[in-house]
Chains A and B, each alone.
Chain A
Amino acid sequence: MKLLHYLILDYLHELPAKFSQLISVDVDIIFNMPKHELSKPDLLLQLDFMFESEYINLKCKNNDINKKPSDQKFDFEIYLTNLGGKVWEEAFKPNWNQFVLVEQDYLDKKNINIKIATINLSYLYLILNSLGVKENKIHKLSPWHPVYWKLIKEAYSSNFVINEDDFNEDVLLKYGEKWRKQWDFNASQLRLKE
Chain B
Amino acid sequence: MEVWGGGLVDLDAKALAASDSKAKECKNKSCKESYPEYLPCSSLRGYSYKSKRDAFYALGGRDKGVKIQKPRPAHSGPCVGQGEHWNVLSGGGRRGSIASCRCCEDTPSGPKLTIRYKAI
Contact = CB atoms under 8 A, between A and B. Distances in A.
B84 A173 contact: yes
Contacts of A31: 76, 97
B61 A102 contact: no
Nearest to A170: B71
B84 A15 contact: no
Given A29-B99, A105-B66, A106-B53, A173 B77 contact: no
B69 interface: yes
Given A29-B99, A169-B71, A176-B70, A106 B76 contact: no
A21 B94 contact: yes
A89 interface: no
A29 B77 contact: yes
Interface stretch (A32-40, A44-52, A136-144, A151-159): A32-40
Interface in B76-120: 76-77, 80, 84-85, 87, 89, 91-94, 96-97, 99, 118, 120
Contacts of B71: 169-170, 172-173, 176
A14 B53 CA distance: 22
Contacts of A6: none
B50 interface: no
Interface in A31-80: 31-35, 62, 77, 79
Contacts of B93: 15-18, 77, 79
Contacts of B91: 62
A183 B75 contact: yes
B66 to A, nearest CB: 7
Given A15-B89, A16-B94, A33 B70 contact: no
Given A26-B120, A175-B70, 20 more contacts: A14-B69, A15-B87, A16-B92, A17-B94, A26-B46, A29-B99, A29-B120, A32-B76, A32-B99, A62-B91, A101-B69, A102-B69, A104-B67, A104-B69, A106-B56, A173-B72, A176-B73, A183-B75, A185-B75, A185-B76
Interface of B: 46, 53, 56, 61, 66-77, 80, 84-85, 87, 89, 91-94, 96-97, 99, 118, 120
